[in-house]
Amino acid sequence: MDLFTVLNLNELAAGLSNLPMFPYFDTAHYIVSVMALREQSGALEVSQRSPLACWFSSMLYCFGGAVLSGIIMAEAPVAPLANSTNVLLATLMWYLVFYCPLDAVYSCAAILPVRLVLTGMKEVTRTWKVLGGVTQASRKYKDGLFVMIAVGWAKGAGGGLISNFEQLIRGIWKPETNELLNMSYPTKVTLLGAVLFSLQQCQYLPLHTPQLILFYTAFIVTNKVRMMLTGSSSSPFALVESVCYKLLFARPLTSSAHPQSSAHPQSTAHPKSSAQAAKPVEVSEADGKDAPRNGSPPSCCSDAAESHRLSKNSKKTN
């Protein structure tokens, strides 16, 4: 690309593409991931009540992408545990963040300049995770663009995509926090990276892999640092999302007259029926001449009772 040649960025791109992630960048990724778990509500209580559940949740935060991508590729989800060195390193970071005496490790890592450096290093590992997922899928599905996107997205943002399962381990069930319902910034930016690297792998983008690595890494690192410094949680894709939603997915508003008229079709259909139902039933003179009124007994019964009383009185007098 001419821009990279003019700015003399090809050497920087090549050096970044050959940068090893272990041990420093992986350590930063584990520390930031475990700190994110610790800052969840109720995580400290779980760490005291059940250290095993806390460790398992931490491993999902650290290796959730590898687990989810392995499930998608029909591979063993426990494959990340085969690398004992990484698991031991992540376990050490988990222990220091949660159980270090005087809370020294978490207090030092929570200092803003230190956290900025650790978060920037973690974002660098995100690039390699997305690229690794896309490359893994391209070996098995050479022309499977959507498979590459899915695997790259899962490997880069698997910890967020399986957050409901991780919460269930800690005894929390909040299905409304599903990442697909309310996508966070890391999930969105990872999806963008998966799309870009998949298009480049299928030769739809006129970029070499090191150049795309440099471009994408610089974007996610600078944007994440900006969000942390300004304390802003707004996504840089908010404007594009709003425009696309209004153009493609927003349903036209209907007039309020039709729902009201169709909601109660029987309320105005027969206006006289309610008045007729409210009237008391009147008995015609032909059918009910001798019908009792106001609860009084029939006249025949009253005449018989009167004659019986008179006969008894006459007997007493005799």
- Measured between alpha carbons, how far is residue 233 from residues 36, 60, 151, 224, 228 in Å? 15, 24, 26, 10, 8
Neighbours of 246 (CB within 10 A): 9
CB of 311 within 8 A of CB of 303?
A: no
Tell me how far apart the alpha carbons of residues 148 and 130 are, in angstroms, rounded to a whole number: 10
pTM score of the predicted model: 0.77
For residue 8, the model assigns a pLDDT of 72
Task: Render each residue's pLDDT in the chain as its tens digit; 318 residues.
Answer: 466 665 678 888 989 999 999 999 999 999 999 999 999 999 999 999 999 999 999 999 999 999 999 999 999 988 888 999 999 999 999 999 999 999 999 999 999 999 999 999 999 999 999 999 999 999 999 889 999 999 999 999 999 999 999 999 999 988 888 898 989 999 999 999 999 999 999 999 989 999 999 999 999 999 999 999 998 877 788 888 889 988 998 877 665 545 444 444 444 444 444 444 444 444 444 444 444 444 444 444 455 555 555 555 544 444
For residue 119, the model assigns a pLDDT of 97
**Peptide linkage before 297 cis (omega within 30 of 0):** no
Task: For residue 212, give both structure tokens.
Answer: 């795309």
For residue 303, the model assigns a pLDDT of 52
Place of tokens 């018989």: 304
CB burial string 250-261: b at 16+ within 10 A, e below = eeeeeeeeeeee
